[in-house]
């Protein structure tokens, strides 16, 4: 039986890795999710045969019914615009589960110190580390969910914030070392978990603006690492492999996204993005707006068009109308491509998912590095719901908190059309100088309604 269980766990790991590989490309991502799902089903079923869980079948089935039922119900109801929130909270559940496993094992050790010898010192240290990381990922993800869902609208900052966070971290580490080395008892263990949960809140509270996708990816990586560490404690190969795969993939994604923003991970965590560092440069020019008909004429008679989608596109659910408009432009001989910034939207790959849902072929979608040198030869750029990722102050103004972040060179196009609900600033709170340039025209209104009017206008030309 043991050989069957271990072989099944190995097959699970292979399915996870193959699924992750196929998730790396939009055209195969759906298959990758299904493969990984098969791996999870296999691991869950074979766990019922594990000798350590005999007699716990009722609790396991109850947990599966409750967890699976809530996940099925919420996933069916979730809107595409709310996907980042769902991912954040589900990721938090993973971290919380890892922390819960650690709490149970460490409590058993606290009640029976002889178990410490059974586990061994390495397993105890890994268990404590997993407990700390999982707890931080849990409460940090909950804060991220609250921000993405609009329940916490701003980055929370206060005096001596970093010193307080550092002090809580140091005390938590000391308590963790005490728990791992001396099994001091339930009270110290409880205090350790409370401080670890508070630490996750303190880490996530000041994060805001364009850094949110990076911090979600970081918490995802932490969840994977916590699960892997608890797998060592439980001698569970499936948890070790799955956690390691998630932790490694999440860590790489976090570093790649931080690199795409030209910021170090430490800078994202501790330098409080969005804090104005000096007197920002004055805005030159004025905002000029046009109607959907004038915008449609510019698009219809252009040779080259680039569309830059942002979170506003997701909110307006305008992706299907946009693709309908693109097909009309292509019939007129217009070359149309999409430009995706690495942190566009509220999570990695957010815009790719939306465009794929509308049926946009992937060969029309290009990343920042692939397309950024083509804007100066583009007739019209249509920006829909994007803001910070097209703000030229990131290139020119050292006083701006956006300075240094790679942005799409939209301002270099011959003409720029920006579809936007109003004149508000982006998620970072920084005023967008693109809107005031001579070659920019604003098209105000709901994204789906405006694009729909453009589609109707193009059909009449």
- Show which residues are catalytic: 388
Q: Quick check: 261 and 210 in contact, CB under 8 A?
A: yes
CA 360, CA 68: separation in Å to the nearest integer?
32
Nearest alpha carbon to residue 449 among 226, 291, 220: 291
Q: Quick check: 348 and 88 in contact, CB under 8 A?
A: no
CA distances from 89 to 124, 137, 209, 285 (A): 28, 10, 19, 43
Token digits of residue 243 = 């956690």
Nearest alpha carbon to residue 168 among 124, 213, 135, 125: 135
Q: Name the DSSP class of 328.
A: H
164-171 long-range contacts, CB within 8 A, separation 24+: 164/202, 165/199, 165/202, 165/203, 168/195, 168/198, 168/199, 168/202, 169/199, 171/195
Token digits of residue 323 = 């693709």
Backbone angles phi, psi at 303, to 5 degrees: -95, -40
Q: In which region does residue 406 sit, left (phi positive, over 0), alpha (psi from -120 to 50) or beta (all else)?
A: beta
Location of structure tokens 């109308």: 321
DSSP-derived secondary structure for 39-105: HHHHHHHHHTT-GGGTT-HHHHHHHHHHHHHHHHHHHHH--GGGHHHHHHHHHHHHHHHHHHHHHHH
Nearest alpha carbon to residue 202 among 154, 136, 149: 136
Q: How many C-beta neighbours within 10 Å does residue 281 have?
A: 13
Dihedral angle of Cα 117, 123, 128, 130, to the nearest 10 degrees: -160
CA 314, CA 448: separation in Å to the nearest integer?
10
Residues ≥6 apart with Cβ < 8 Å to 264: 258
Q: Quick check: 399 and 279 in contact, CB under 8 A?
A: yes
State whether residue 417 is helix, strand or coil.
Answer: strand
């Amino acid at each position: 039986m043991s050989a069957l269980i271990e072989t099944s766990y190995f097959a699970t790991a292979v399915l996870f890795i193959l699924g992750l590989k196929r998730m790396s490309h939009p055209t195969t991502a759906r298959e990758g999710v299904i493969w990984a799902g098969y791996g999870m089903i296999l691991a869950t079923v074979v766990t019922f045969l594990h000798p350590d869980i005999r007699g716990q079948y009722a609790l396991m089935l109850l947990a599966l019914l409750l967890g699976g039922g809530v996940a099925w119900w919420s996933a069916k109801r979730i809107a595409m615009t709310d996907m980042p929130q769902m991912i954040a909270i589900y990721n938090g559940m993973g971290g919380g589960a890892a922390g819960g496993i650690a709490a149970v094992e460490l409590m058993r050790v606290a009640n029976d110190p002889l178990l410490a010898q059974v586990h061994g010192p390495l397993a105890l240290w890994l268990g404590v580390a997993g407990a700390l990381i999982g707890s931080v990922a849990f409460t940090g993800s909950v804060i991220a969910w609250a921000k993405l869902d609009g329940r916490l609208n701003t980055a929370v900052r206060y005096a001596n914030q970093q010193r307080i966070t550092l002090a809580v971290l140091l005390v938590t580490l000391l308590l963790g070392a005490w728990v791992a080395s001396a099994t001091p008892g339930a009270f110290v263990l409880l205090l350790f978990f409370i401080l670890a949960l508070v630490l996750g809140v303190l880490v996530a509270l000041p994060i805001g603006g364009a850094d949110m996708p990076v911090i979600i990816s970081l918490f995802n990586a932490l969840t994977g690492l916590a699960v892997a560490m608890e797998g060592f404690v439980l001698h569970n190969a499936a948890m070790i492999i799955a956690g390691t795969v998630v932790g490694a993939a999440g860590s790489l994604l976090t570093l790649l996204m931080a690199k795409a923003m030209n910021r170090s991970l430490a800078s994202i965590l501790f330098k409080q993005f969005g804090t104005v560092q000096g007197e920002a440069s004055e805005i030159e020019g004025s905002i000029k707006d046009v109607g959907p008909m004038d915008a449609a004429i510019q698009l219809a008679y252009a040779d080259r068009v680039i569309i830059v989608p942002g979170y506003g596109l997701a909110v307006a659910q305008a992706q299907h109308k946009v693709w309908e408009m693109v097909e009309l432009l292509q019939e007129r001989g217009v070359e149309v491509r999409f430009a995706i910034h690495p942190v566009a939207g509220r999570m990695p790959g957010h815009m790719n998912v939306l465009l794929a849902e509308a049926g946009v072929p992937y060969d029309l979608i290009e990343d920042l590095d692939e397309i950024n040198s083509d804007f100066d030869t583009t007739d019209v750029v249509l920006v829909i719901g994007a803001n910070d990722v097209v703000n030229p102050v990131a290139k020119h103004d050292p006083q701006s908190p956006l300075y240094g972040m790679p942005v799409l060179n939209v301002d270099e196009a011959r003409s720029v059309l920006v579809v936007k609900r109003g004149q508000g600033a982006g998620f970072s709170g920084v005023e967008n100088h693109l809107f005031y340039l001579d070659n920019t025209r604003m098209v105000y209104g709901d994204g789906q309604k405006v694009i729909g009017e453009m589609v109707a206008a193009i059909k009449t030309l």
